[in-house]
Structure 1
Amino acid sequence: MIVTRNWLQEWVDLDGITTDDICKKLNSIGLEVDSLTRFRVPEKIVVGYVKSCEKHPDADKLTVCQIDLGTATRQIVCGAKNIREGLYVPVATVGAVMPNGMKIKHAKLRGVESDGMVCSSTELGLPKIGEGILELDESIGKLEIGKALCEYSLLNDDMIEIELTANRGDCLSIHGVARELSVGFDRSIIPFEFKQDENNHLGIGRILQFMHEGNPPVSLIYRAANLANLRIPLLVRLRLAMIEQDAANGLEAFCNYAIHTTGVVLRHYDFSKLSCAKEKVKLVLKELDNGLGAVEYDGKIASIVGINQDETLKAERDEGVVLLEASYIAPDIIAPVVKKEGLETDALYYRTSRGSEPDLEFGLNFLLSLLGQWSDAEVYAGCSEFITPKELHTLKITVEEIERLIGQQIELSVIVNILSRLGFVIHKTEDGQIILDTPSFRHDIENRQDVIEEIVRIVGIDNIASKPLRFQEANRNSLALQRYKYLRDLRLKAVANGFFETVHYVFCDNKKLRQLGFEPLKEEKALLNPITNEMDGLRPSLMVTMLDSLQRNVSMSKKRIPLFEIGKVFDTERNEAFHFLLAYAGEKEMEAVTNAGKPEPIDFASFVDKVAAVIGPFELKKGSAENGLLHPYQSAEIWIDGKRAGVVSKLHPTVADAYDLPDTFFAELDVSNLEAKHIHAKAISAYTPVQRDISIVVPQTMPYTQIKEALEGNLPESVKQFFPIDRYVDESLGEWMSLTLRFMISSMEKTLEESEINAIMDDVLKILEKRCEAKLR
């Protein structure tokens, strides 16, 4: 956003305030100054009046001018095409030093004496304004022949470029920045007054019929004017050049100037193009399916409010009847639709998407005042409008809350004064409580914290006393805290059992995933901008990225590699989950005297014991190989409290060979099925428990889970626990196997006698015979 000191001065009193002070204040209130450029016309460059022009006798492109400099008339040879009699022009007199270092001297050009130089804008050190010499007019002040241009303050301006954040659309205008400075310097904003005598003027209803279908969330106001003798003053041309705004004609130049000044989105239309040779234009505002509003004429779209307009409908001449449109639509409505549907936008969408000025009458009246001042325009009386009332956003905040967040006491009167000057409407200030409405032009104010931020930036962060941070959290035991503690304890248990934590990117190679038997992300969910070609997917298993760490350790001659990781995994729909992985490769223990320096490799049973030491007791059930990592014969599902929690498996030999790994086992579990549960204490018997073994013969094809399910819920109350301790098969048993079960028996009332224990074991055997076809061995 570009502003100038003199431009701001038209809206806020800056007398006695230096430009450096303005820059410091802008920075302190959150409007970061990116650059400061000072334009100064050198001395000895004065206002000249061209009394006559004659062609150079010896050069077709040169003109010999007689220019009145007040004290004398000088002859100056000029090569500009636009030099002509009756112009006021800047003249660098003999002795003047130009901004580029050139010194003006008496000279002869093709034999003709020349005392000075008629200057263009760039030769004066100003932005480029048109072609040829600079034509002066009284928009910069009363022109006095011979007066030095360095005395015209409007030409000698300071240009400030502000780096605005996306949420400060209210400062995308001179008026918006002036409004901020008026609060920062405690100065009053200069009101704008526009009075139009509408008597004896045709009403806009004679040429425009404006209707609406539906209720789109937009606001529109139309005015009309009959242009004649429109001229662009130097001040407008200079300021538009500073903000690098091009204009195809005078009307567009004034529209651009009014937009930058007021922040209101303004557009113009050629009446003859809309009327289609009719006496009256019929415009219809329609609500679109996407919730936006479109203005139609003769069945065609003239504009989509806030997004674009038909460029061919713009006024191309600075005469005739034109329609002037001011529009507003909330940025939170328009931006998501444009992004979702990829709608074509014009230059003004930048303003509407960040929040333009909603006071449409202000922008239109300012534009009409310019046209009335610099043309012979006849403005039609009245307007046609469709206004969607902006819903007021009411907030309630207490002084105590403000002081607690800021860290120091601020008087209620100071708070109310700051908020009122910022445009907040204060409804109540009783009992230390403030009820207010946010300003209509501040789209970024949504909650109490935003209001407090406004107070802080105006008070000044440098005026807030530094204090040690004091943070006192309420004593609460939330689910998030329980989850954090459990994951912390899980890590500690893994480390205590000899595992080392690793951390990997969640990104992986889709090509590798397919080789391992996984499905990558669906095409519509794929990463649009991956870090590298080898990181174009998201891992579905922690083991996918763990393989590289295992391989790296093997290449460094590590013989025992216990690793673990807790991290995110993703399914094909990009739904994420937290998994816990334990991986073990190589020797089951470290070299020691007890194993003669030759420890055995890790096996399935040993690894399962290590997993149980970390996560606690669980049950193994037969599973199927879901992907290429699982061994077809040495893998199982892990079940906890009746839920499938994950898998434990030996790494598939093909994968192990590809990564040059020794025997490798891993267990991967869903963290949501591992969360700690409240443990209820149970009474234990004061009498000594006894254990009894029973050996039975069952079919080899019978899984242990069937035997377990047959016993659970059917055993006598005295049987507290049972588990298998031996399995035996040989040729003599044929298709049968011998299975030994151990039972822990205890009574809460007494020490059981042998006869009672035998009776219990008889009951157990009957259950096995009935439900499992078991025979006593």
Structure 2
Amino acid sequence: MLVSYNWLKNYVDLGNLTPEELAEKITKSGIEIEGVEYVAEKSTDVVVGYVMSCEQHPNADKLNLCQVDVGDQQLQIICGAPNIAEGQKVAVAKPGAVLPGNFKIKKVKLRGIESNGMICSLKELGIEEKYIPTDIADGIFVFPEDVTVGENVDELLNLNDAVLELDILPNRADALSMLGVAYEVGAILDQQVNLPDEAVTITKDNAAENYISVEVEAADLNPYYGAFIIRDVEIKASPLWMRNYLMAAGIRPINNVVDITNYVLLEYGQPLHAFDYDKFESEKVLVRRAANGETMVTLDDQERTLSEKNLVITNGKEPVALAGVMGGANTEVTAETKNVLLEAAYFNSKSVRGTVKQTGLRSESSTRFEKGIDPNRVKKAGTRACLLMQQFAGGKVAAGAAEFDELDRTENVVEVNLEQINKRLGTEMTAEDVASILKRLKFDFNQGGSLFSVQVPTRRGDITIFEDMLEEVARIYGYDNLPFTLPQGAGLAGALTIRQSLKRKVKNYIEGTGLMEAMTYSLTDEVDIKRLISPEISEHKSTPVALSLPMSEEHKYLRLSILPEILQVLSYNSARNQTNLGYYEVGSIFVSDEPTVTKQPDEKLRLSGALTGKWLEQPWQQEKKDVDFYIVKGIVEGLFDYLKLTVSFRQAKIADMHPGRCAVLEMSGQTIGFIGQLHPILAKELDLKETFVFDVNLEIVFAAYDSIPSYTLIPKYPSVARDIAFILDEDVNAGDVKELIEEIGAPLVNRVDIFDVYQGANLEEGKKSIAYSLLYQHPEKTLKDDEVEESYQKIVASVNEKFNSYVRS
């Protein structure tokens, strides 16, 4: 929001405050001022001049020789502006004047004739070109007839004005208007607010309802619509002061009718729209939802295709405006307009936001509707605009307005307790202090001792609860005046949640194996969204969640796997001659089962990692070896041992993984991820050597983790170790045999480890030897040899029967 310092002075007494001092006070009260800019650099000796005569230069076709009265003297000035003419009052820089940019005006000769000064355009006086009216963009500025010759132009053109740029947060929509800022500044400075005049002289024996009627089919999206009629307007330039204020606020003046709607928009924060009544071709305004595929041409001459989600203003037949966003070209106010239909309405913020999102159109009007407007200012703003059109366009205002009105104008009531205020703020305010602050805010209230029942005006829709009111009291009291006190009340020592603690345990362990943490984008592209998805995710047919407005095609989808992004990190570093690489990430994937998303996707926490090059099998070893399946398997097994959980591995085939070097992870029969080698084709595509990855569903792991500390008694009875080697078919999984041994050996077999796998000489082709170490131990007694032997033989028989194996001698 750009706020003109000079314009603001019309509503509230700013005293002797400089713009910079005012900006500091506003910032300290809670609305940040991003900067203070002056409309133009200071110029000297630029005055109003009267063009007494204007003749063509005798030696140049495109130059004019002018005699100009500047009050205290007459100057001969050569001017090349196409719109210069005799009888005009113009801005004249006299010899010796200094214009913005340190441009000094001197007496010169042009084509043999002396020129003593310069007739200036607005651009030459320091006003940005984008705010200059288009009809004078290429020429000099002509003043109205009522200005005085010789008068300094700085005040006439508002060149001495400063503009404060307010950073308005979404909850402070009230400050998106000059009146809203005036109320804010009035509270800060403890000054009264001077409200604008809204008294209109209406046309006798005539009413707006005789010209137009209003029907609203979507009252939920448009609870109020007011239509005003102003007849016999004269389209011309708006008054100079109005054009100055609009330019200071960043709006280019167009004509008096359009300028008035923009002026009231900035003044009241209420968007208005002016239709050419004669082009409206109807005596009925119908507000409805658009039909799917319906089209209209907006004021920017673009054809828009609409849907039933868009609210439109129609003449009963065709759309004439996109509600709250932009008018239609078919009813635009032009130089030929004689009669005006003025719209003042309240549109639902979500509806306007949806139309903006669909069309890509955003305007000063839509910005205010999206953030919320004051329901009690809607009709007042329409009346104010009627008054200005009466004064500056010669219009005749019909009585009243044709209306549809189901708008709730109820004011919120918030209870405020003095004791609670002082307790929360650490202050010692009195009831009189609080009452004074409420009066400065212009809030009505009833007081009963230390209890205040505050009636919050509808312009402050952000105040609904005690905490909101507490903030208002604190900031007007002054943040600098709040004492330095420690908060009171019972508190608990800070600590990590169980989930945070588990994440930290996982990270600590993985980093202990030598991997470095990566933090990658949660967004990915159309190719990677389908890659390296864990089986338990892909089996549920999770739908990729696409962004409506992605930053780029590379960041279009919410990821279903972390691995593709980690592999990109690996590839990036490998291309820069880094050879031994290992990265991991603990992050979320985003799972949804909806083809069209209507709710937030589920976030699932996962641990993913990738390694390539050489690696230490154990951190304490000195010699590295090429990364292989067993190194990655060891990292994952070690993690589960660290968390005191049991995990098993089952060979599997997964897309983009090496078909013979891949396994899924299982806990209690449930798939929780996978490990293995990246498929050579994908590795080549990423310009990587042999690369191994792992992916673990931490949601399931954390759910199974027992966070309650426990301990196991140190066994006081001796253990018995037995080794056994089976000759098996080479397609038998070692893990399957281990599971069977644990099942048959329970409860005597306390632990089973694989310590050797052999395949080669002295074994039949297609066979392999796998050796297991069995640890027997009973918690309450010493095992006898025959008990161990009985269990051992039972295990041998069961394995041989199930896997068609025999014990290696």
Question: If the length of structure 1 is used for normalisation, what is the TM-score?
Answer: 0.74
1:658-713 CA-partner distances (Å, limit 9, x unpaired): 99999876544333343332368587697625537596978746656666666767
Q: 1:274 to 1:546 in 2, by over 3 A?
A: closer
Native 8 Å contact 1:651 1:665 kept in 2: yes
Q: In structure 1, give the amino acid aligned to 2:664.
A: E
Q: 1:482 to 1:584 in 2, by over 3 A?
A: farther
Give the distance between the partners of 1:409 and 1:650, measured in 2 at CA.
69
Shift of 1:269: 1.6
Counterpart selection for 2:567 from 530, 544, 559: 544
Q: In structure 2, give the amino acid aligned to 1:674.
A: V
1:89-135 CA-partner distances (Å, limit 9, x unpaired): 47979988575644799x99999x99999887778778868565643
1:241-284 CA-partner distances (Å, limit 9, x unpaired): 444544543322333333333322121122221235xxxx1111
Q: In structure 2, give the amino acid aligned to 1:377.
A: G
Native 8 Å contact 2:724 2:772 kept in 1: yes
Relative to structure 2, which stretch is displaced further, 350-359 or 211-220? 350-359
Tell me which residue corresponds to 1:486. Answer: 502
Counterpart selection for 1:201 from 205, 211, 225: 205
Give the distance between the partners of 1:91 and 1:512, measured in 2 at CA.
64
Q: 1:502 to 1:470 in 2, by over 3 A?
A: farther
Shift of 1:501: 2.6
Native 8 Å contact 1:43 1:148 kept in 2: no
Shift of 1:22: 2.9
Residue 9 (structure 2) pairs with residue 9 (structure 1): yes
Counterpart selection for 1:300 from 309, 313, 318: 318
Give the distance between the partners of 2:528 and 2:438, measured in 1 at CA.
58
Corresponding residue pairs, total: 745
1:139-196 CA-partner distances (Å, limit 9, x unpaired): xxxx7x7785479788674232424346354333332322222122110101334334
Q: 1:609 to 1:430 in 2, by over 3 A?
A: farther
Native 8 Å contact 2:284 2:315 kept in 1: yes
Counterpart selection for 1:744 from 768, 771, 776: 776
Q: In structure 1, give the amino acid aligned to 2:21.
A: D
Native 8 Å contact 1:395 1:435 kept in 2: yes
Q: 1:406 to 1:35 in 2, by over 3 A?
A: farther
Q: 1:663 to 1:458 in 2, by over 3 A?
A: same
Relative to structure 2, which stretch is displaced further, 59-68 or 20-29? 59-68
Question: If the length of structure 2 is used for normalisation, what is the TM-score?
Answer: 0.72
Give the distance between the partners of 2:471 and 2:392, measured in 1 at CA.
43
Give the distance between the partners of 1:409 and 1:707, measured in 2 at CA.
77
Residue 649 (structure 2) pairs with residue 621 (structure 1): yes
Partner SS for 1:268: strand
Tell me which residue corresponds to 1:567. Answer: 586
Aligned positions of 1:168-207 closer than 5 A: 168-196=172-200, 198=202, 200-207=204-211
Tell me which residue corresponds to 2:300. Answer: none
Residue 408 (structure 2) pairs with residue 389 (structure 1): yes
Give the distance between the partners of 2:474 and 2:324, measured in 1 at CA.
33
Shift of 1:227: 2.4
Aligned positions of 1:100-499 closer than 5 A: 101-102=104-105, 130=136, 134-136=142-144, 148-149=151-152, 157-165=160-168, 167=170, 168-196=172-200, 198=202, 200-218=204-222, 219-228=224-233, 232-243=238-249, 245-275=251-281, 281-288=283-290, 290=308, 292-317=310-335, 320-339=338-357, 341-342=358-359, 344=361, 348-356=365-373, 358=375, 359-387=377-405, 388-389=407-408, 413-415=432-434, 417-418=436-437, 421-422=440-441, 439-442=457-460, 454-455=472-473, 457-464=475-482, 474-475=492-493, 481-496=497-512, 498-499=513-514
Q: In structure 2, give the amino acid aligned to 1:568.
A: G
Q: 1:587 to 1:203 in 2, by over 3 A?
A: closer
Relative to structure 2, which stretch is displaced further, 179-188 or 535-544? 535-544
Relative to structure 2, which stretch is displaced further, 645-654 or 322-331? 645-654
Native 8 Å contact 1:710 1:772 kept in 2: no
Q: Which runs of 5+ in 1 are unaligned?
A: none
Shift of 1:380: 0.7
Q: In structure 2, give the amino acid aligned to 1:566.
A: E
1:450-482 CA-partner distances (Å, limit 9, x unpaired): 6555555544554456679999963477xx722
Q: 1:66 to 1:21 in 2, by over 3 A?
A: closer
Give the distance between the partners of 1:755 and 1:75, measured in 2 at CA.
128
Relative to structure 2, which stretch is displaced further, 381-390 or 513-522? 513-522
Relative to structure 2, which stretch is displaced further, 300-309 or 578-587? 578-587
Give the distance between the partners of 1:376 and 1:523, measured in 2 at CA.
57
Relative to structure 2, which stretch is displaced further, 414-423 or 200-209? 414-423
Counterpart selection for 1:581 from 604, 609, 623: 609
Shift of 1:205: 1.5
Partner SS for 2:199: coil
Give the distance between the partners of 1:299 and 1:371, measured in 2 at CA.
28
Counterpart selection for 2:707 from 670, 673, 678: 678
Give the distance between the partners of 1:257 and 1:206, measured in 2 at CA.
28
Tell me which residue corresponds to 1:501. Answer: 516
Give the distance between the partners of 1:716 and 1:146, measured in 2 at CA.
110
Q: In structure 1, give the amino acid aligned to 2:281.
A: S
Partner SS for 1:320: coil
Structure label with greater radius of gyration? 1
Native 8 Å contact 1:685 1:746 kept in 2: no
Shift of 1:602: 7.1
Native 8 Å contact 1:39 1:155 kept in 2: no
Give the distance between the partners of 1:734 and 1:552, measured in 2 at CA.
41
1:559-581 CA-partner distances (Å, limit 9, x unpaired): xx7x4523337589897642143
Relative to structure 2, which stretch is displaced further, 96-105 or 575-584? 96-105
Native 8 Å contact 2:200 2:383 kept in 1: no
Q: Which runs of 5+ in 2 are unaligned?
A: 291-306, 593-600
Identity of aligned residues (%): 16
Q: 1:684 to 1:722 in 2, by over 3 A?
A: farther
Shift of 1:611: 4.2
Shift of 1:542: 7.0
Shift of 1:385: 1.9
